[in-house]
Structure 1
Amino acid sequence: MNPIAAVKSNWRILLLVVFVSFAVVALFVPGGIMADDSLGGNESVQESPTNLEFGLGLEGGTRIRVPVTGMTAEDIASDAVSEEGQVDQERLEEIEGTVEQELDLDPANASVDVQEDGTVTAEVFTGSVTQAEFAAALQSANVDASEDDIRDGVTQSTRDQMIETIQTKINAAGLSGGTAYEQTTATGEHYIVVEVPNMGANELRNILSERGVVEVVAYYPGENGNQTNETVLTGDDIATVDPPQQREQGDGYVVPIQVREESAQQFQGRMNDIGFTSDGVGMCNLRGDGESISFDHEGEQYCLLTVADGEVVDAHSMGDRGGNGLATNMRQGTWADDPTFQMGAQNQQDAQSLSVNLRAGSLRAPLDFSESQVYSIEAAHADQFKQYSLLIGLLSVVTVSGVVYGRYTDTRVALPMILTAVAEVVVLLGFAAVIRMPLDLSHVAGFIAVVGTGVDDLVIIADEVMDEGDVSSERVFQSRFRKAFWVIGAAAATTIVALSPLAVLSLGDLQGFAIITILGVLIGVLITRPAYGDILRRLLTDQ
């Protein structure tokens, strides 16, 4: 047989070899072919002999399930959206400003937006406001709303944005294997669930309790001579963020950032207007103790304050460095062409937190930890579970191998069957490594189920092919194999349909079991079962 004909005849076996090879690379080669993690990951993953990531049950850590703090008034202010779908942005800003003023809220704690269905929704993100007060504030903005129009909780878009921000924050902090997702109860209550391996409950709660609202505030003498605070940069104005660095001169740390082009001109102009690039150069004498900044000072101060979640973490002046620094570039109007800037922090922990918050963005709403549910597992216990899981996996393979060999007593049938089942698990593990799926106890149960269902299907193939005696003819083999494949194809479809609801719904550990089982069935039907058929054909028929 010429090489081309051999490839065409055995392409299913070659396909299985290719998939197993890629899986081995993904599992064991450092870096492998895993999905890119541009935000950084936990280096501890590379200390493992494999590239697999593990969840709480196999690594230890904490899971927190917590609702979002807030109230929502839906389908209001129809006058803000025309019949053609045009949005009156000024009207939305008017409503939002009135709500903030009437309820004495910061801008971060109120929002009025147009949803995907074209309706206007108002939200407040605080637990200190009642539904009656919220309704009264909306009525002050000429919105026809009552307490009956207001419900506890936030919109789906707000929850989606928060989950994305939390996931980015977890990745940026290098918390490998951490994940965030939404969970909905049977009564319609919505929760955000965050799982982070190798982290205690208090530490994770501290990370999530920070909304991550970062601002640069100008602290300068106002027209009446009193010191004035004015926000001149927010997290939304930041384009890129570099890792924290220690100051070249003096104590403390800095986080280098680049300001967005559209915000740079405005920031540069404002610094010139209020005197930071002229009289205010080097005029900041506020001092800190490494944790907080003291505002006990004499004389006029021109300070750029780094503020995180309302707390001042650093204060520094506008420098000039011999006439070639930030102040000079802003005076000359050239800084906006390369708008780099440094936010300060007094210690490394604050600098790292600042960097993470700038990269991830701020949480749209706070989380209500008074209604949270926490699950933690110690790393020592998780390590035991990992060892037991490996032992059970090996026992399942050995047991299945013994049963298969005892049934057929023919290595031509039994050995390929065992190797094919193992190859299926290897491919599935490689896929988990590529997509960085944190494996947990539920996934281990799924792998064991995959071994069982896989061998069941291979037994069906072997029995169907060998049941009616002589199978030396390739034509006879193909006819019997197709009949068997229809049976296992129908069984696979039934399994996928039955487990799909568990894979889609937020049902905790059941979801992981369903996902692994469905992936295993798909890999089996598309790759390993056909390959096993080709192997049997080569071993049992006359070539």
Structure 2
Amino acid sequence: MLKYWRIWLVIIMVFGSVLAIGLKAYPYGRNGVEIVYVSDQSPAKSVLEQGMFISKVNGLTIKNKEQWGSLVRNLTGEVKLTANGKEYIFHVNKTLGIEVMDIERTNLEFGLDIRGGTRIILKPKEENVTKEDISQVIATLQTRANLYGLKEMNFFPIKGIDGKYYIQIEAAGLKSDVIDNLLSRQGNFLARVSKPVELSNGKGEFVLGESKYPVSVIENATSIKLGNLTLKENQSFVLEGINFKYVNKTQNKLLFLADVYTGKDIELVYTDPQHSGVRREGKGYLFYFTVLVSEKGAENFAKVTSGIPSKLDIYTGEKYLDSKIYLYLDNQLVSDLRIASSLGGRVYKTPQIQGGRQTEEDAVEEKLRLQSIMRSGALPITLEKVSVDVISPRLGNRFLSSSLYAGLLAGIAVIVVVFIRYRKLKISIPMIFISFSEVVIILGIAAAHDSLIWGIVLILNFILISAAWWKKHETDIYAWIGAILIPLLGLMSWTIDLPAIGGIIAAIGTGIDDQIIIADETVEKRKEKVLLTLKQKIKRAFFIIFGSAATTIAA
């Protein structure tokens, strides 16, 4: 058995690839449809989500998308849906507002052209938006999508009949929360520091770096006097180039908010494990990452935090300023953090952004979303979602069938060319089997959710080659590399789109080129050793060249 260990190595990887492609789990049964999008007008909004599987409508089992369409087309009143094994009841007035697609029967992930996806139209809120503004927005959105790890996304500027510019996004497998929280967010970042001022007999001192400004409360009024400024509650003002807001007055304290960092101050967003991560905290998960801010922003922080008293936390024993730093994104509070007393009055260039979520997956997604927005920068204009709908595949199942037939014809053509040359099945069949194996292994590597399978294949490969080496069979470094590298590549996955299918079909022809060279040399060596004339050598060389070309053209 170990004498033919190379053949067993190929068989193990082909068998593992077949399992990686076809061994698919159906946690909620094989029947049903997958939710692609839930519209804002749907009664199932915020209840059902993209990626959930609907198996029944009013107790009737759904087999495919066509049956779903016929069942829900005119539904009104009370509707019962079984999604992910759980029953939900909705009251439908006009439309259910749920777009679906057929459940994938393999672990292969197909692209937009084959499987279809989602079309989103975004509209600028501002007036007089130019085509250059739209181009800048698209460039920023593409950067966000790449940083977030989104695949199969196309951005198009379009002009409506009203003469206004819109942005059309086409994507495969795009979640609604990604649209709302990543793509349509403007991404304006702002960090504010609270600055308290202690009062004594209605008077105090506002410290800003090395400057000090007298503060007093105006009698019988809600206003205060700060230097030469008269301020009312919630009034904004600028002092030494820093934007402030007078918030309110308590019995013996005034509270101000200062803008210390903006999105323009963000120079770098750290993503490495030393400065970014997720950890368990209490009953949830805490995410964090560090940003590098500009010198000007750090100086503003130093000025604002100067003169703020510190206090002792009796639970941790640490000292903190009587202040907090509040982090906002598009005027929404992301997190509020205490400031260590040692940072008061210091130039601080590496603040840490934190937040919490209930699950580890949600914490990772939120961290990645914030990092993507902050790294890509703010959009020059504000966007709003106009419409979201499902687009049908441009190619679809008919194209897949055509590609399968094309691959079959290519394989038959290659078999014919090879058989005409050698006229021996024991040479032709192994060559065709190896070419077929290449295609299967490529698809197996592309498949998703197959880490366990490829892990087992890696272990079996290692055991097989080690046993062959131990029994002193001839082994080589290339066998080791292939046996280890292919299963490791199988741990990844990639989308099968039109170029990928074309490449796989071409591989049927190009993959056999080296086999023709090896087979021809092997056959000739087995013949009686005679001195070949120059004409015979040229004849052999011409077959190798034209045989390889013929198989490539046939494929």
TM-score by length of 1: 0.44
If asked which structure has higher relative contact order (CA below 8 Å, sep 6+), I would say 1
Relative to its length, the structure with more strand (as a share) is: 2
TM-score by length of 2: 0.43
Relative to its length, the structure with more helix (as a share) is: 1
